[in-house]
């Protein structure tokens, strides 16, 4: 793992800090990529001549707007929404919408910046973008969420299109929200453009396996990473942070492939079930009832719920952070390694701090960064776009097979690129360089735009 920036890149990073004050998550994401790129500029000086790095760090377009809406009691609320259209060198902007109180411009820019490289690694024709709002859907009725989504789309629709910008879901935005957003887009434009939003319901243009894709994809990448080490998931004890869509389907695929998940979490606490997480019960609580994880312990008395517990304190061989950014710290990394952890795969975006990643590399723990390991979601979104464009519908089995093929290819690309640049086994360097080369070459080819 590289420490510090190449002398040619330090001024670029300082300019990013100056131009984007207070956006700490964005700063972190940019630095993590720049730390990998020193050798690239030596081998490909044309990227410096065309100022490709500076251009990649500056979004092509940033849209900020207010979203007024009325709750069930008639009270008016005003939220702020964002869409950062970061880079379209490889295709239309593609990236999710996040509804969460923590959302501000810096979070959206960090997510959009990561999306550029993640999307490039899929080898599918999609650029990078991201959006969201500081609206909190928790505790809101379906009618309130519908009114909010309709208000948001009334402004956002003018910036979208199948060949321009294609949003999807993220934290706080599932099939329900996508339905309300798509309905309002269709209503305003008088066009049924299925490919303008992904994550749709199966009855109206959605892709089979899209719901499962991010979680399944992380596990497929982890499986490939273990194969390189002549190892497998079979019999391994795993912990998965979170209990949302990504975590649930990561647990599902780990169990299918012979692993044993003993813990998961939400923002309130941690569940430990030494007998293995009961997936059916977890789905019932989180997906159907939309309740907190502590209910799991109430219904399964032999499990243990710890309010505000630390999931990384639980001994495991494999750790999958699938909740939110910077959730796994240096202290957590040391605890995991002391307890025998051999591999970490990121299901969330940037959930591991730079210091924690450094400790994993020093100790030889296999580490899969989110921009590679969790690319399965956006890859399957692009497959959904293909189906919509051809007015086609694929089976779950075919779509999952395509997903596995894409994740295997991403692993190979990252592994081989790291090796070529003298950083064998460093998937962070491999992902950053491979994604950058693909986008950078396209930008050079298209001229100064």
**CA nearest 162: which of 146, 148, 182?**
182
Active site residue 200: no
By residue count, the chain amounts to 449
- Distances in Å between the alpha carbon of 306 and those of 203, 248, 289, 293, 412? 40, 19, 21, 10, 39
Contacts 24+ apart (CB under 8 A), 21-26: 22/106, 23/105, 23/106, 23/109, 23/110, 24/106, 25/106, 25/107, 25/109, 25/110, 25/325, 25/326, 25/350, 26/106, 26/107, 26/109, 26/110, 26/113
Contact 67, 78 (CB under 8 A): yes
Among 8, 43, 130, 371, the one annotated catalytic: 130
H-type helices in 209-321, by residue range?
A: 210-228, 245-256, 279-283, 294-299
**CA nearest 206: which of 216, 218, 194?**
194
214 a known binding residue?
yes
- In terms of phi and psi (left: phi > 0; alpha: psi -120 to 50; beta: otherwise), the region of 364 is left
Write b or e for each residue in 292-320: b if 16 or more Cβ atoms lie within 10 A of its Cβ, otherwise e. Answer: ebbbbbeebeebebbeebebbbbebbbbb
102 a known binding residue?
no
* Cα angle value 318/102/26 (rounded, 5°): 75
Pairing state between β 127-133 and 76-87: antiparallel
Q: What's the CA gap between 232 and 340, in Å, rounded? A: 16
What are the structure tokens assigned to 46, written together?
């044309």
DSSP 92-103: SEEEEEEE-TT-
Q: What's the CA gap between 174 and 200, in Å, rounded? A: 9
79 a known binding residue?
no
169 a known binding residue?
yes
Pairing state between β 93-99 and 127-133: parallel
326 a known binding residue?
no
Annotated binding residues, written as ranges, equal: 94, 115, 118, 169, 214, 245, 381
Annotated binding residues for NAD(+), written as ranges, equal: 214, 245
Annotated binding residues for substrate, written as ranges, equal: 94, 115, 118, 169, 381
Q: Which residues does the annotation mark as catalytic?
A: 130
């Amino acid at each position: 793992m590289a420490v510090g920036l190449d002398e040619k890149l330090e001024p670029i990073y300082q300019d990013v800090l100056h131009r984007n004050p207070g956006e700490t998550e964005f700063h972190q994401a940019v630095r993590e990529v720049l730390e990998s790129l020193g050798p690239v500029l030596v081998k490909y000086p044309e990227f410096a001549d065309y100022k490709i790095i500076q251009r990649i760090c500056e979004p092509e377009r940033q849209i900020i707007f207010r979203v007024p809406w009325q709750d069930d009691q008639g009270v008016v609320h005003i939220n702020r929404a964002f869409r950062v259209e970061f880079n379209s060198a490889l295709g239309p902007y593609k990236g999710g919408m996040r509804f969460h109180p923590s959302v501000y411009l810096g979070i959206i820019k960090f997510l959009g910046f990561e999306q550029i490289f993640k999307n490039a690694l899929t080898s599918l024709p999609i650029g990078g973008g991201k959006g969201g709002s500081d609206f909190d859907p928790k505790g809101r009725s379906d009618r309130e969420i519908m009114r909010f989504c309709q208000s948001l789309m009334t402004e956002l629709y003018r910036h979208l299109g199948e060949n321009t910008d294609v949003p999807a879901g993220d934290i706080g935005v599932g099939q329900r929200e996508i339905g309300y957003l798509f309905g309002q887009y269709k209503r305003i434009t008088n066009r049924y453009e299925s490919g303008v939003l992904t994550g749709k319901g199966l009855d109206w243009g959605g892709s089979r396996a899209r719901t499962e894709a991010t979680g399944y994809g992380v596990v497929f990448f982890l499986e490939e990473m273990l194969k390189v080490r002549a190892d497998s998931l079979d019999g391994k004890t795993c912990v998965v942070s979170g209990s949302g869509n990504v975590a649930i389907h990561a647990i599902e695929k780990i169990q299918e492939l012979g692993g044993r998940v003993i813990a998961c979490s939400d923002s309130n606490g941690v569940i430990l079930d030494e007998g293995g997480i009961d997936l059916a019960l977890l789905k019932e609580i989180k997906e159907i009832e939309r309740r907190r994880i502590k209910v799991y312990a109430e219904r399964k008395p032999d499990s243990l719920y710890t309010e505000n517990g630390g999931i990384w304190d639980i001994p495991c061989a494999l750790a999958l952070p699938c909740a939110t950014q910077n959730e796994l710290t240096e202290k957590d990394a040391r605890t995991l390694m002391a307890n025998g952890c051999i591999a970490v795969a990121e299901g969330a975006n940037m959930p591991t701090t730079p210091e924690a990643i450094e400790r994993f590399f020093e100790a030889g723990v296999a580490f899969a960064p989110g921009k590679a390991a969790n690319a399965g979601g956006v890859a399957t979104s692009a497959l959904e776009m293909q189906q919509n464009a051809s007015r086609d519908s694929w089976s779950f089995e075919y779509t999952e097979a395509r997903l596995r093929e894409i994740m295997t290819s991403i692993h190979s690309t990252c592994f081989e690129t790291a090796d070529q640049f003298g950083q064998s086994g460093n998937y962070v360097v491999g992902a950053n360089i491979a994604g950058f080369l693909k986008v950078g070459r396209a930008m050079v080819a298209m001229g100064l735009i």
